[in-house]
A and B are shown apart, each in its own frame.
Chain A
């Protein structure tokens, strides 16, 4: 660690007592770098065993890493909490300006404890915290909340404004936290944890700077990385069409979940491809702070008002692969306009789009199969492609007019426990599935990944590689690769480097950046540290009741063809057992 780097300062905020203080923890940052490495240690310290995720005892931890504000594409903040959605480890990453703002305000982590009696928002600077009354903001959409705070508070350009919408206030367990209007701490329900604490928003602003010991080396390594990002083709995909580029190749491959995964290819995929979105709507591309890639694609959606001729509104809506999958192919919606309208609704309410789409897809199949009726759906005729009904249903997830929506506001796992339809409830460890039906590695990863995300071990990428190479998957191979990738990603998530930059931040490159930060670490030592961090995350999970025995694959994944053919149950069970064995070895220090 660079001597005197303020990253070792942790800002504690107690919402119950409206107090804040700073503690210095250099030993934590020195050993675990920052981000998820430090965050998980803080979560283990601050979150009591068996805590109610929506109780004041559940802490929210935001942590950044040593590379934030030092190197390009180190642009992410990690949030850790106990998830109200799965009842276990909550971890979510977001960019925007959040990481730069926290680091430049002079903190390595922010720990938010307790619960406020009235709605508040926080203003955080290097001088500390101001508590502001947010009762007038309660009930407001995420867009409006951002606008109001932007007008009222200082720090334009060097601040982040994290906020929740009505979904977080109403404790929908997959409510998200929106930052800079278009980036999200999307998954696992951080928005509901904010809501339970009556915390509407946090503004963080700062513009410090720090000097590494070897400035010359710093500038050299920086330039090398910057050139690789901007002059090679490594980031081109993210830059041009963005992640939406994946729609067509995944559809062609037969791995794009469609109509609640009753199929893995979508007959209208062309209509909702990255190319279609760009040609019809792309209005602007924007970037996170300190990322020259600009992968954030904003669509301009122009719609007429019905009450007056020649009166239009134009909204800017961010789109990506996952929202197009979950609110597009998964719901059988084959128009860019339809998908954008749904995205806008979810964004405005502050819902995780991925869980929302999977929840509505499950509800649709329930209705189509006659397992529920219009009484449950609040009169909505949910059927594939019915945009109007889905827009209303999205609102109902927040307003919860029937007990069915009250259940669905707690996720597909919870709702299917009460209403049936478990065989086509696409949840893994309590979290709704991401947009990849690519083969065994993707599904094993969803189930075993520490946050049940496709980003844990990137099984989809492994599946695709194996298809390309004509390689037959085997349980030992996919287990080994998933674990190795997840361990390495703990390092990126501790620095905190955006996963999109993983091809640039290879182990050797990371070692060079860490040399600037005063470390002498080898690639092997980093991989070992990654495993250690993963072990701490699993420690938290086991402490909170995680067990491999409780895990099961939804039946639907075995019914629909993947690019690797139909998945075999015995293959997947064998892989799961092997994964469990490896985790046991890791926990006992024998891996």
Chain B
């Protein structure tokens, strides 16, 4: 099966610098965090390390199943694509995502969905995350 997904290689490598989060918002030329589809927070205090939340690119994504307007469509390559024009901002997808990787853009009132572009990976100096591509994708 063709699949591209963002993978957390080893969460214990994470130092919590959040450069990936800043990178994700910077894709749109913006500085800050409001457009980030990746989240790094402590696992209950810095001493316990960090939790890195990324879209797992599920085969049968609960977020897409929960969307009443088909704004989230399952992609051939895994994961979902988001069509903002169809989205009514019901937040069902946020609730449905088991790993809490659907984020919310307060300024637009719509979800932030990972596009699997891998821009964040280039700004993680510790190799915590990588863009994983299945053989079929590599060959294609």
Contacts and interface: CB of A to CB of B under 8 A. Distances in A.
A181 B17 CA distance: 15
B15 A212 contact: no
Nearest to A155: B41
B97 interface: no
Nearest to A284: B49
A103 B49 CA distance: 24
Contacts of B39: 157
Interface string A199-235: 0000000011111100110110010001000100000
A207 B106 CA distance: 9
Q: How large is the interface on B (under 10, 10 to 19, 20 to 34, 35 or more residues)?
A: 20 to 34
B31 A286 contact: no
Interface in B1-58: 15-19, 22, 25-26, 28-36, 39-42, 44-47, 49
A209 B34 contact: yes
Contacts of B25: 209
Contacts of A216: 29
B22 A207 contact: no
B26 A181 contact: no
B121 to A, nearest CB: 13
Contacts of A316: 47
User: Looking at chain A, what size class is its interface with the partner chain?
Assistant: 35 or more
A143 B33 CA distance: 27
B33 A208 contact: yes
Contacts of A103: 32
B125 interface: yes
Q: Is the interface of B mostly helix, strand, loop or mixed?
A: loop
A553 interface: no
Given A157-B39, A230-B125, A285-B15, A210 B30 contact: yes
Interface string A69-84: 1101000000000000
A151 B40 CA distance: 17
Contacts of B45: 146-147, 150, 181
B123 interface: yes
Interface in A259-298: 284-294, 296, 298
Contact of B18 (A146, A230, A284, A290): A290
B82 to A, nearest CB: 18
Contacts of B29: 211-212, 215-216, 218-219
A180 interface: yes
B44 A290 contact: no
Contact of A156 (B30, B34, B42): B42
B32 A208 contact: yes
Given A69-B22, A69-B32, A219-B29, A180 B46 contact: yes
Given A181-B46, A209-B30, 14 more contacts: A69-B22, A72-B22, A157-B39, A207-B32, A208-B33, A209-B32, A209-B33, A212-B31, A215-B29, A216-B29, A226-B19, A287-B15, A287-B16, A292-B17
